[in-house]
Structure 1
């Protein structure tokens, strides 16, 4: 296998039998094949859309299929064999749709006609046709890296789109744009300027998708409220829900009512404790554990059942809790039970059979729930604090956490920020410092937890509103970015920030290794992207530019 899609890809790529994430070469090959076929699906869907036709089933399958290929989501080879067969059927369905609409079906790119087969042997033989190395050898690392920038951005966008779709929020125009960009990739483009333009278009698409997801979450569960979230367990039987999917969390809360089971969030689901529609359940007991990379320690110590609703899953067999962890939605691991149709009865039975927590742990709580609605609700106060000089700088510190050395940078940066500054944070990167007491400014906590990684939408809306009220551009605000990236959702958010023209982003702990120095040079020149270095030196540079 050769994989460069996430920050775990060491020395320029995972060219090994098993990736840093635990993904086998067989699964990596199947994911490449699936995406190549899905590009073919989009070729026909795009041409059908241009002829005025669409198919809701094709549009619904697309983000789900792409989502399964993200880092730490699905490791189950048998599931990918089934998905490829379904993708081939969807491609034929989209072809017939386009043909019926009178679309031009001449000059089709390879993914529209390629047949990798469906058996394990056929797929293994076909895999080199979809492998990154083929395109590296043929088109060179810079062009392939730029295509991967779009590909990985689309993966992140697909994940957010799927989160919104399962909550009832989807738009034909969003699906059409996704298919258009995916179809562009299917043609294996080589023009660098066109590739850069489509990378920014992917960021624009992701902005719209994050808006849809925001509407899905707030429409279903209400706007986040400032909440002191309990971070330590209470006595009783327990279920731990990890990932990002608040719809699954809601289903578990409903199905456990009256059963004497406490439900805890983990990782990126911590913000769920601040939504009125979810915190109304008295057995939502708070958050347990930290960011995803600590899950093997957290899950091994958790005396109940565990559900993974989306990324980020790590091998459960190493620490021996595979008999009490379940997967849902796009997630998969060979041999783990998978929840279908939101029926969590097996999880409940498992939780009741486990010992649970024997007693309450000492209570510890942290503030969360500073979504855009909350922050904009006190916009006058915030603007007054900025105009009066009580708040001199704003920092956006967060993103995807990970295990690579150097990620303490984001803790160190947060701890070094001046006391007259506010920190907006989101994603699991906040676990680096969200239990630290950084004080308050006139009663406002200095650390404002804005939610999940997709709630970058909230941070963007707040920044735009503050800039508008102050009569300046966002890049003229005393707003500084310390962004940790790990996988493809972070790539999508980064492309959104670039689409909006945001500059001087400190990105780390490493820059994406799928981009060559040539391509990074273009991004550095155009957007002033800066690799993270020494936290205090970077902070001094940020403050000097303010």
Structure 2
């Protein structure tokens, strides 16, 4: 195996003997083969689209499959074996529509040798195929490999956000067409570097679109988030902990736990759900338990009750709580050595039955307290822009000198204390704009406010980075600026996985300059590709708090 899609990749180069995330080699190989099969499916569907006989379920299926390969989503061999088989079957069905015979010349028109193989290979042949032939390293040119894999990682982020919007009934055929085109492009040896960079920026532009779609879907279903103080303590009732990102799952769980005596707590990226008006009517939604994803082994054990993982980020569980850890959607885990396989709650006709989880919760003791206080969330674009005049006056009056975008992902490496120390060192005339689980490094610090404006404005989940973009664009308009880079806004962003890759590409597509990225630069970005990003966008890596304070804040 070879995997370098996340920030924790071994030695900053690549995981080769199992993933740092806990992914086994067998699962890594199956994920590579699934991506390979999806490329063949995309090519055949593109040909079918030309004749208007394409698979109309292509988009949701491919998005879910791509999402499953994202870091810390699925560790289950059986899931990927089934996904590969389903992909091959769908590919052959759509190919048959083109010319009545899978693998026919009409479907293969214009295909390279590699693409022809991906478009015709049988299931048995793919499963027997040498893993090296479908791995990241199958592309020998380092720079081409870098551009192709960065694009694939952007697609994984695009799929993650897109599938959430799809679950809420929001789809965009143009997004599906781009995913199709982008997958096919990774087998096109005729593309120039400029064309491949163009595809990355196009992926980022589609990222802006899909985040806007998800924002509209979430607010359309649950209302506009409003600033909300969320309790971090615990009650005396037994509880269910819900983690991940899927708000529809939270809604169904809250409905089914009403009147049962079981409380529901959010964890990790589900914290922002408390700010949506539709969820505030549920008295059984009592608070947020714990912190960012990487602390779950300790926090899940202490929660005492069942946990529902709706999306990433799942860490291979400890035996002590594995029997009360459930998954849903594309999340999964199994371990051949121990025989452990987490139970997945399926969807049937758009609904899920959580009765087994609720029954288990009733037998469990209440959660063990971790802390007792509040944390504030809900500063999405609608809430923040509702006080735009107040913000603008504070900027013009000199009370606010800089906005610091510190969005992104958290992670377990000790170097990430940098973000806590950076937040603490910021002058009192700066405001942090954040989204994603990176906020757990500083959202519980007492940083005060500026004229009633909190110094940490939490817009929500990682996909709510869109809100930060909207806020910046609207502020630029209010100040009469044509270029968002002329705003008193600086970017010190933490990344971990592929959704953060998409957010970065989205910012670049908007020509946002001077982004500082950390705690390390993505291993998938080769030196030559990095040089292009530096020359075009002045991207740089973070260094230490004092040095970054000087170049970002006191310049």
In the alignment, structure 2 segments of 5+ residues that lack a partner are 335-340
Alpha-carbon spacing, 1:23–1:299, altered in 2? closer, same or farther (3 Å): same
8 Å CA contact 2:240, 2:265 repeated in 1: yes
SS at 1:314 equivalent: coil
Q: Could you say what the CA RMSD is over the residues aligned between the two structures, in angstroms?
A: 1.9
8 Å CA contact 1:58, 1:94 repeated in 2: no
Matched, 1:440 2:449: yes
- Partner residue of 1:412? 421
- Partner residue of 1:158? 159
Cα shift readout 1:400-430 (whole Å, capped 9, x = no counterpart): 1111231111111111111111111110000
Alpha-carbon spacing, 1:203–1:363, altered in 2? closer, same or farther (3 Å): same
TM-score of the pair, normalised by structure 1: 0.95
* Counterpart selection for 2:440 from 421, 431, 440: 431
2:523 and 2:269 mapped to 1: Cα distance?
25
Alpha-carbon spacing, 1:122–1:60, altered in 2? closer, same or farther (3 Å): closer
Alpha-carbon spacing, 1:92–1:486, altered in 2? closer, same or farther (3 Å): same
8 Å CA contact 1:178, 1:205 repeated in 2: no
8 Å CA contact 1:143, 1:190 repeated in 2: no
Matched, 1:535 2:545: yes
SS at 1:321 equivalent: helix
| Alpha-carbon shift at residue 56 of structure 1 (Å) | 2.4
1:474 and 1:431 mapped to 2: Cα distance?
27
Matched, 1:495 2:525: no
| Alpha-carbon shift at residue 111 of structure 1 (Å) | 3.9
* Counterpart selection for 1:128 from 125, 132, 136: 132
Q: How does 1:2-151 map to 2 (within 5 A)?
A: 2-99=2-99, 105-109=108-112, 110-114=114-118, 117-118=122-123, 123-135=127-139, 139-151=140-152
- Partner residue of 1:339? 345
TM-score of the pair, normalised by structure 2: 0.93
| Alpha-carbon shift at residue 338 of structure 1 (Å) | 0.6
* Counterpart selection for 1:348 from 349, 352, 358: 358
2:47 and 2:475 mapped to 1: Cα distance?
41
| Alpha-carbon shift at residue 398 of structure 1 (Å) | 2.2
- Partner residue of 1:524? 534
SS at 1:399 equivalent: coil
| Alpha-carbon shift at residue 124 of structure 1 (Å) | 4.7
2:209 and 2:117 mapped to 1: Cα distance?
31
1:185 and 1:362 mapped to 2: Cα distance?
48
Alpha-carbon spacing, 1:214–1:448, altered in 2? closer, same or farther (3 Å): same
Task: Give the number of equivalent residue pairs.
Answer: 538
8 Å CA contact 2:63, 2:163 repeated in 1: yes
- Partner residue of 1:184? 185
Alpha-carbon spacing, 1:333–1:458, altered in 2? closer, same or farther (3 Å): same
Alpha-carbon spacing, 1:504–1:234, altered in 2? closer, same or farther (3 Å): same
SS at 1:23 equivalent: coil
Alpha-carbon spacing, 1:510–1:378, altered in 2? closer, same or farther (3 Å): same
Matched, 1:280 2:286: no
| Alpha-carbon shift at residue 399 of structure 1 (Å) | 0.5
1:125 and 1:42 mapped to 2: Cα distance?
20
| Alpha-carbon shift at residue 51 of structure 1 (Å) | 4.2
Q: Mean Cα displacement is larger for which, 405-414 or 243-252?
A: 405-414
SS at 1:407 equivalent: helix
- Partner residue of 2:320? 320
| Alpha-carbon shift at residue 11 of structure 1 (Å) | 1.8
8 Å CA contact 1:32, 1:130 repeated in 2: yes
2:126 and 2:207 mapped to 1: Cα distance?
35
Alpha-carbon spacing, 1:376–1:93, altered in 2? closer, same or farther (3 Å): farther
SS at 2:74 equivalent: coil
1:98 and 1:442 mapped to 2: Cα distance?
64
Alpha-carbon spacing, 1:50–1:460, altered in 2? closer, same or farther (3 Å): farther
In the alignment, structure 1 segments of 5+ residues that lack a partner are none
- Partner residue of 2:173? 172
* Counterpart selection for 1:450 from 450, 455, 459: 459
| Alpha-carbon shift at residue 544 of structure 1 (Å) | 4.3
- Partner residue of 2:476? 467
